[in-house]
Structure 1
């Protein structure tokens, strides 16, 4: 199939483009610059230049690529400062709203039949009920203020993709990435904070995280391109775990002392309201549907094994 990937040169794109090429697809990469054009070509894709926030440029790129499938991996997430959570996600929020709308409009004009979009299943589920959520569970209906814009942008993307009756819309709710190019790559600032005991357990550490190796997420995306059906899929590993469990274990892998524990009010001063939510109230996700319907199995079924080489 002819596949156009938007957001093609980030951590996910670097894993996804070669896999799509290896699977026999004719792959096009939507990039913004000559540097991105060179990177996309190195990864085996045909580059097309467009700014995702410019509707005319996006329409021209889709017209040039003439894809059967568009994969939306548009993000601009760098270092996440939980004290300024909304600011950290502002550029990505805009891409998830305007970029998605522009891609969908161009897809409709040019008869694209399938649209696969990156969503977030790591930080977005409602914070009530059981510790592990399925795709049927809602996004957080009452997020704390610093997280509201991010969750609203995710909600906009999902509603736009799933509500477009003229195309087969597929939403992939990825877990927290680790692996090459991510915030939990070898030598990353986040791992160094854990190594230096600057990443404490806040409160009871009861927030449940679902991780996924970026390579496994790329494999799941290829499966969605080839055989996904309209709807939502959680793309996470088999082992959702509370912060009080995974953080000390990761510290041990790094050869560090156990992380400090601080009460919620201290955590709020240091990491902000969003940081406390991530540490104490987060809900994990189940990958049962993705396994069942996509035939996908993560090569790193648990972060306990997958993070060890990274650490």
Structure 2
């Protein structure tokens, strides 16, 4: 049994990971900013030590790393680190005891794909603050491990999907009207001939990978993609979702200016962020070294998310 500190413990991934760790016999300390309940309730939470911590405030004060180290962890799972400065503070505090540090990255460390499937060894050419920050953290942690300091593993999820929060739709954005259009047979505009690629992953599959990484010494010093078995194009996802309702999608394949005028600037910007990368990430390394075996296809993950949204009044699929 290990003592595991999970940072960001009531978010998407940890809602599944923490119960998994408890069932595996680990002692879990769950750090989160507030008292929000996990997205996915489970009886195992009654056996978890929950601690409210404002990471941003403690990072500014220079105390967060010491706070984590004070719990004397064997393993630290960091799900909410976004800058190299924040990671460096945590690493410095953990260096005297050298627990295993598992970091949540993103497939966006790659930037736009040149070759697919993208492997973990592709050169890092991220665009945007999020991907750039995560790539810098990845390099810092691997450098630390190579030097004999804190041992680390970096997991790069795709578009995390599941019940309880907005998920990336078959149009590559967060517009709930996409679901309605596909369910009711209304026209759905898509850019780039609908051939942009998305690589979803269910949050529980990401949790599976973190749980496995915590007990695989051979994984130390490596990065791993954590995604569904296959990526899918926008039009492929649209056909799959429409099929749930016995329909063929009514797709309107348009240029970018037309797409933006139809869906609005914010949704168009989100779609462009995803389509411009079109990452299809390979998982062979995760299969081999972690024993990772995703349970959900991209469509399975989206179906579970949509069912939750409908049941909770977040998406209306009824005809007007």
TM-score normalised by length of structure 2: 0.77
1:179 aligns with 2:162: yes
* 1:88 alignment partner in structure 2: none
- 1:12-54 per-residue CA deviation (whole Å, 9 max, x = no partner) reads 11111110111111111122335579x9993532123332221
Q: Which runs of 5+ in 1 are unaligned?
A: 76-94
Q: State how far apart, in whole Å, the 1-side matches of 2:178 and 2:294 are.
A: 25
Q: State how far apart, in whole Å, the 2-side matches of 1:15 and 1:128 are.
A: 30
Q: Which runs of 5+ in 2 are unaligned?
A: 182-186, 307-320
Whether the 8 Å contact between 1:177 and 1:183 is mirrored in structure 2 is no
* 2:64 alignment partner in structure 1: 58
What secondary structure is seen at the aligned counterpart in 2 of 1:157?
helix
Q: State how far apart, in whole Å, the 1-side matches of 2:25 and 2:33 are.
A: 25
Q: State how far apart, in whole Å, the 2-side matches of 1:308 and 1:272 are.
A: 23
TM-score normalised by length of structure 1: 0.79
Instruction: Go from structure 1 to structure 2 and tell me whether the alpha carbon gap of 1:199 and 1:158 turns closer, same or farther (over 3 Å shift).
Output: farther
* 2:253 alignment partner in structure 1: 261
Question: Superposition pairs for residues 80-95 of structure 1, below 5 Å?
Answer: 95=82
What secondary structure is seen at the aligned counterpart in 2 of 1:103?
helix
* 2:92 alignment partner in structure 1: 105
Whether the 8 Å contact between 2:232 and 2:298 is mirrored in structure 1 is no
Q: State how far apart, in whole Å, the 1-side matches of 2:223 and 2:153 are.
A: 6
Q: How many residues align?
A: 281
1:195 equivalent among 179, 193, 209: 179
Whether the 8 Å contact between 1:206 and 1:280 is mirrored in structure 2 is no
Q: State how far apart, in whole Å, the 2-side matches of 1:254 and 1:6 are.
A: 39
Deviation for aligned residue 1:277 = 4.4
Q: State how far apart, in whole Å, the 1-side matches of 2:86 and 2:276 are.
A: 32
Whether the 8 Å contact between 1:7 and 1:13 is mirrored in structure 2 is yes
Rg (Cα) greater in structure? 2
Q: State how far apart, in whole Å, the 2-side matches of 1:247 and 1:29 are.
A: 38
Question: Superposition pairs for residues 98-247 of structure 1, below 5 Å?
Answer: 98-109=85-96, 111-121=97-107, 123-141=108-126, 143=127, 148-165=128-145, 166-184=149-167, 190=174, 192-197=176-181, 200-227=189-216, 228-247=219-238
What secondary structure is seen at the aligned counterpart in 2 of 1:285?
coil
Q: State how far apart, in whole Å, the 1-side matches of 2:207 and 2:301 are.
A: 15
